[in-house]
Amino acid sequence: MDLSAANLNDHLMLSRLLDRVRPLRGRPGPPRRKVRTLLADKGYDYPRVRAELRERGIVCHIPRRGTRDDVSAARWVVEQTLALLHQFRRLAIRWERRADIHRGLLSLGAALICWRRLSNRTR
């Protein structure tokens, strides 16, 4: 997980994020190490981003800026996750100056969300 300044555009962090993707497990066979498809919002519609994804062999689904195209059905999962994390007031607005404290609170929030979801299914 990388933390950046609040006023930094997301597309500037994309290459660092793609470099840090871990192997994906869960299917038979060796773990997949390469991202095949990327779903993003209009904030990633830059020629540099599309060129980098093309170089990496990643198929991108990014709607063009200034159009009404939308990939909201797939992005709903991301938006729901952010909404779940923002129910914890300390994560909605970052008050901590130290990144390690913020990472710890983020991990704690994710663990609480998972625990609540799993405890509802086992009853």
Q: pLDDT of 77-107, one tens digit each?
A: 777 888 888 888 888 888 888 888 888 998 9
Same domain, 60 and 82: no
pLDDT digits (tens, 9 = 90+) for 16-64: 888 888 877 777 888 777 888 888 888 888 899 999 999 999 998 888 8
Same domain, 48 and 76: no
Same domain, 64 and 81: no
Same domain, 58 and 80: no
For residue 20, give its domain range.
1-69
Same domain, 47 and 107: no
Determine the 3-state secondary structure of 2 from DSSP. coil
Contact 70, 63 (CB under 8 A): yes
Same domain, 5 and 59: yes
Report how far apart, in Å, the C-alpha atoms of 91 and of each of 1, 83, 102, 105 are: 15, 10, 8, 7
Dist. CA 23–CA 43, nearest whole Å: 26
Same domain, 65 and 94: no
pTM: 0.66
By CB atoms closer than 10 A (0-12, 13-18, 19+), residue 59 is exposed
